[in-house]
Amino acid sequence: MAGINAAVAAEEPTMSLRFVFAASAALALASCAGRTPAPVSLSQPSDQATSCEGFAAEIAANNSRALSLAQQQSNTNAKNVGAAVVGVLLFPPLLLAMDLSGADGVELQALRARNEHIATLMRQRNCANIPPASPEAAQGKAIDDRIRDARRGGEQPYCKDVGGYETYKQRTGEVCRL
């Protein structure tokens, strides 16, 4: 009987090691794939028939999607940094949970390229009011509009209303009110 208990006791660490290994392998396989990018095509079959208003609406929608993708990319980068730190220091299999696909960046670049292509088509068609082709430019225009509106009252605008101290100073060379 003592021989059987010794054999069972010897197998227990092996079984728990197998379980840990199997769980780590499952985690690695489930999480290392990341997301497959789905970039938008530079030109669309409907481009020839699209109106100036349709192009403007598409640029606005693309800019909105680009801002969302930029936020997702920032979140993914933060998660990857956290996984790397914990993986190196405490639990190495967590390194396999990092999303290295770069899908958000690929899609973001494709949206920006598509917007530039649309802006070119709009210029060729002599469309009026071509919207900013990038979300950053769209945000800059919105900040410039807020600065202009704040100055109409004859006062220096508050920093919180015009994109913050640094943004205001870079855009105008002036100092806003805190």
How many CB atoms within 10 Å of residue 3?
7
| Number of separate domains in the chain | 2
Q: Is the pLDDT of residue 144 over 70?
A: no
Same domain, 87 and 163: no
Higher pLDDT, 42 or 139: 42
pTM above 0.75, yes or no: no
In a domain, 153, yes or no: yes
Looking at the fold, whether 148 and 93 belong to one and the same domain comes out as no
- Residues ≥6 apart with Cβ < 8 Å to 98: 32, 79, 80, 83, 84, 87
Q: Are residues 125 and 62 in the same domain?
A: yes
**Exposed / middle / buried, residue 115 (Cβ in 10 Å: 0-12, 13-18, 19+):** buried
CA distance from start to end of the chain: 81
Same domain? For 140 and 176 the reply is: yes
Q: Number of H helices and number of E strands within the chain?
A: 5, 0
Claim to verify: residue 65 and residue 108 sit in the same structural domain: yes
Q: Show the domain range for 57.
A: 42-133
Q: What is the pLDDT of residue 64?
A: 83
What digits encode the pLDDT tens for the residues 79-99? 777 777 777 778 777 777 776
116 and 169 assigned to the same domain: no
Tokens of 62: 């693309």
Let me know if residue 168 belongs to a domain: yes
Same domain flag for 123 and 162? no
